[in-house]
């Protein structure tokens, strides 16, 4: 499967309808929709029925991530950016230059009073997500919010409860749920390709301080909000939330019953309050575990989302899988088999670039046909073809149809709560069990 991209007047246009139609080839069956039921709300026939109607979208938060969404919105046929809001004037000016006809606000509450807005995109610091989401739902707006759902467990439950009581559309930017290699990979897992899922292993490594320059000291906590506990959950909410959602997805909505871990500030001793190194283990009631590690002072290992089965391993971030007992032969093995003895002397068969494939005899197989877009995990704003454009397009379609995407809010809730419980476990040095008061009907234990 290939993403269909059109070039229009020198600009790339996201061929969403074509993507959805192609996605529908394998997502149309009951088995596939069982692994990604949220796709039903953005099926090709619903996209076609929307026709040329546009969703009138406003952005609350116009920093780097907000502007990333603006660039994607400008390429979505059913989207019209009608308003922008930010309390930091330089960001508002930058965003306004991208969509000059959009109305500008400094107070998001005034924006929510605007009756010409169908849906809002919230790309503000994590500490503000819950309050703005609740206010937006109360105002009757459809909402698309950046991950994670909220900064505290109480806020998560308040947002979830508000969502269950209203009819509004609510999306969270858990873009892996709309990434074709993840969707297809989960389908293969459900089909039994790698056997029983016996464990999960995820990591995200970078080498960057996460700090951004500020024009003057009073803007430090506004611009570098990720570094302070009053506004950030650190590596867990900013990075692990995506990967824990993948683990929950692979486990079939089964949730870990406990978590333990260690968090430290190892290298970036610059006044930050959140950990720059975390190691966490989640344990399921049946003994399976999620091992999660993140470090932002070494990037060697990059990003991995590995689902481990007794018959194989799915490396979803890379879009490949391996089988435990594989009769396939890799290109290197075929080459070595054809070589004569006199040639071997010039071939570094014991070199580091050869050893892993020969020693383990694991042959990589692509999860999808065609180009595989791999996110190395180093970009701090967003990359092309990671599902962000598709989930944003799905939100715009839902603003038109009023149809909710099944399970998106529940998956975001589960992932966020797991992140916050891990922070508690690291802070206290204790094994933290899942509190009954934050369980929802969607979860299984």
Is 19's pLDDT higher than 60?
A: no
Q: Is the pLDDT of residue 14 over 70?
A: no
Whether the per-residue pLDDT at 38 is higher than 50: the answer is: yes
User: What confidence score (pLDDT) does residue 374 get?
Assistant: 83
Task: Note the pLDDT of residue 335.
Answer: 45
User: How confident is residue 342, by pLDDT bands cut at 50, 70 and 90?
Assistant: very low
Model confidence at 328, pLDDT cuts 50, 70, 90, reads confident
295-304 mean pLDDT: 96
- One of 3.30.360.10, 1.10.1270.20, 3.30.70.2190, 3.40.640.10 is the CATH number of 196-383+414-438, namely 3.30.360.10
In percent, the amount of the chain with pLDDT more than 70 equals 84
pLDDT of the residue at 384: 72
Residues 6 or more apart from 206 whose CB is under 8 A from it?
Answer: 295, 296, 299, 377, 378, 380
Band of pLDDT at residue 347, cut at 50, 70 and 90: very low
Query: What is the per-residue pLDDT across 60-71, written as a single tens digit (0 to 9) for each?
Result: 999 999 999 999
pLDDT (tens digit, 9 = 90+) per residue, 122-171? 999 999 999 999 999 999 999 999 999 999 999 999 999 999 999 999 99
Q: Which of 55-64, 97-106, 280-289, 377-386 has the lowest mean pLDDT?
A: 377-386
pLDDT digits (tens, 9 = 90+) for 397-407: 999 999 999 99
Show me where the domains of the chain are located. Answer: 5-177+387-408, 196-383+414-438
- 339/355 Cα distance (integer angstroms): 17
Give the integer Cα–Cα distance in Å for 149 and 127.
10
Distance CA 79, CA 69 (A): 11
| Parallel, antiparallel or unpaired: strands 289-295 and 277-283 | antiparallel
pTM of the predicted protein model: 0.88
Whether 241 has a pLDDT exceeding 70, the answer reads yes
Overall fold of domain 5-177+387-408: Rossmann fold (3.40.50)
From first CA to last CA, the distance across the chain in angstroms is 35
């Amino acid at each position: 499967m290939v993403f269909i991209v059109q070039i229009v007047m020198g600009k790339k246009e996201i061929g969403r309808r074509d993507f959805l139609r192609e996605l529908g080839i394998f997502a149309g069956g009951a088995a596939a929709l069982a692994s990604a039921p949220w796709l039903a709300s953005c099926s090709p026939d619903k996209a076609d029925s929307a026709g040329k109607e546009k969703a009138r979208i406003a952005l609350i938060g116009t920093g780097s991530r907000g502007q990333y969404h603006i660039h994607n919105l400008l390429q979505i046929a059913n989207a019209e950016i009608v308003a922008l809001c930010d309390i930091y004037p330089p960001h508002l000016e930058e965003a306004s230059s991208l969509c000059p006809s959009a109305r500008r606000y400094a107070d998001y509450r005034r924006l929510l009073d605007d009756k010409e807005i169908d849906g809002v995109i919230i790309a503000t610091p994590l500490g503000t997500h819950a309050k703005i989401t609740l206010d937006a739902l109360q105002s009757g707006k459809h909402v698309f919010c950046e991950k994670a759902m909220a900064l505290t467990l109480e806020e998560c439950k308040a947002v979830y409860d508000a969502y269950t009581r209203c009819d509004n559309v609510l999306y969270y930017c858990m873009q892996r749920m709309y990434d074709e290699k993840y969707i297809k990979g989960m389908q293969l897992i459900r089909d039994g390709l790698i056997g029983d899922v016996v464990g999960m292993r995820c990591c995200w490594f970078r080498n960057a301080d996460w700090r951004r320059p500020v024009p003057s000291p009073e803007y430090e906590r506004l611009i570098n909000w990720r570094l302070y506990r009053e506004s950030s959950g650190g590596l867990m909410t900013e990075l692990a939330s995506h990967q824990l959602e993948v683990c929950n997805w692979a486990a079939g909505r089964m949730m870990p019953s406990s978590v333990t871990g260690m968090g430290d500030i190892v290298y970036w001793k610059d006044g930050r309050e959140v950990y720059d190194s975390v190691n966490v283990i989640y344990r399921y009631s049946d003994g399976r575990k999620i091992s999660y590690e993140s470090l932002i002072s070494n990037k060697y290992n990059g990003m991995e989302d590995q689902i481990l089965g007794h018959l194989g391993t799915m490396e979803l971030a890379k879009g490949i899988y391996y089988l435990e007992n594989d009769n396939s032969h890799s290109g290197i093995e075929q080459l070595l088999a054809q070589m004569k003895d006199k040639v071997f002397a010039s071939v570094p068969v014991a070199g580091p670039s050869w050893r892993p494939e020969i020693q383990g005899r694991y042959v990589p197989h692509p999860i999808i046909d065609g180009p595989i877009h791999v996110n190395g995990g180093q970009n701090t704003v967003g990359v092309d073809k990671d599902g962000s454009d598709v989930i944003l397009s799905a939100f715009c379609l839902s603003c038109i149809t009023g149809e909710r995407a099944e399970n998106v809010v529940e998956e975001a809730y589960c992932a966020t709560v797991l992140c916050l419980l891990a922070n508690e476990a690291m802070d206290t040095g204790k094994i933290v069990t899942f509190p009954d008061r934050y369980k929802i009907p969607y979860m299984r234990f």
